[in-house]
Amino acid sequence: MMKFKAMTAVAALLIAPAAFAGGADDDTLTINGELEMTTKAPAPEHLDGIFDEVISGWHFRSDETQQLETDDFDNPGMIFVDQAMDEWNTAEGSEGKSCADCHGDPAESMAMVAATYPKFNEEAGELRTIQMQVNDCRVNRMGADAWKYDSGNAVSMEALITSVGRGTPVQVAIDGPAAEYWEKGKELYYTRTGILDLSCASCHEQNYGNYIRADHLSQGQVNGFPTYRLKNAKLNGIHSRFKGCVRDTRAETYSTGSPEFVALELYVKSRGNGLSVEGPAVRN
């Protein structure tokens, strides 16, 4: 009986009457007056029969929130990029090295990273996210401590690396050795969990554009992560957002940096192949 009541309540939240259903607007996103972003793109082949078009979450936000992302001086996420730039140039660890010592200017060396990660690392024999790769460099090249996943330093550095790739189309590989991770991520995406019996697809595939409470549901694209959320006034990593979504289904969730969330990140990011890298984005 309790589960039935919970499902009735969630149906009322998600299945909005037509009169209240919203959707993506037709605005265009240009950053700093010169960087044109692809925020709508033909859906990748593996979404055939699901979507004809993939749409950035930017289109589902209010005009005021959208405007914050059009200028780096207004985008609060860029504060964390500046902080990470200081970290990039600071020598740390037993080797006395900084990121810059090996990689130079991030605008030149890191421009394609956000578009292609998560990525299978042949030498390590595992799928790696940006934060995993950063920690590998810190431990094995700098002799420094690894950062906790999605901690302040870690997510800020990811934002720096992502920011220099803005405008580049997302193009994560899902074949070869990455395929098994992609399949696991897909399984997680469609698995219903928690007391509310919801999957990622319940909101972001079947009900995007509808209202949930007072906000529009988007397609759940992650091309804008790390994302500054007005709701909690901080920069948020992808895994932290996954954790919050699973928690909202009233289920036990995985940890940030867990194999499950690494696989889910690959799958969800592949759903946005063709959209511009947009992070650090601004969302509600």
- Nearest Cα residue to 117 out of 70, 76, 168: 168
Domain range summary for the chain, segments of one domain joined by +: 34-282
Q: What's the confidence (pLDDT) of residue 56? A: 98
Bridge partners (DSSP) listed for residue 92: 97
Query: Known binder of ligand: residue 213?
Result: no
Query: Known binder of ligand: residue 103?
Result: yes
Q: What's the confidence (pLDDT) of residue 9? A: 42
58 among known catalytic residues:
no
* Strand locations in 33-160 (E): 35-36, 40-42, 53-55, 119-121, 126-128
Query: Known binder of ligand: residue 245?
Result: yes
Q: Which SS3 state, helix, strand or coil, does residue 119 take?
A: strand
Q: Which residues contact 272 (CB under 8 A, 6 or more apart)?
A: 54, 56, 170, 221, 222, 223
Q: What's the confidence (pLDDT) of residue 129? A: 98
Q: What's the confidence (pLDDT) of residue 8? A: 40
Query: Known binder of ligand: residue 200?
Result: yes
Mark the ranges of the chain whose per-residue pLDDT is less than 70. Answer: 1-22, 213-214
Among 3.60.20.40, 3.65.10.10, 3.60.20.10, 1.10.760.10, what is the CATH number of 34-282?
A: 1.10.760.10
Q: What's the confidence (pLDDT) of residue 212? A: 75
pTM above 0.85, yes or no: yes
DSSP state of 57: G
Query: Known binder of ligand: residue 102?
Result: yes
Q: What's the confidence (pLDDT) of residue 23? A: 73
From 238, 245, 264, 281, the catalytic residue: 245
Q: What's the confidence (pLDDT) of residue 203? A: 94
Q: Could you write out the DSSP letters of every residue in 148-179? A: PTT-HHHHHHHHHHHHTTTTSBP----SGGGH
Q: What's the confidence (pLDDT) of residue 17? A: 37
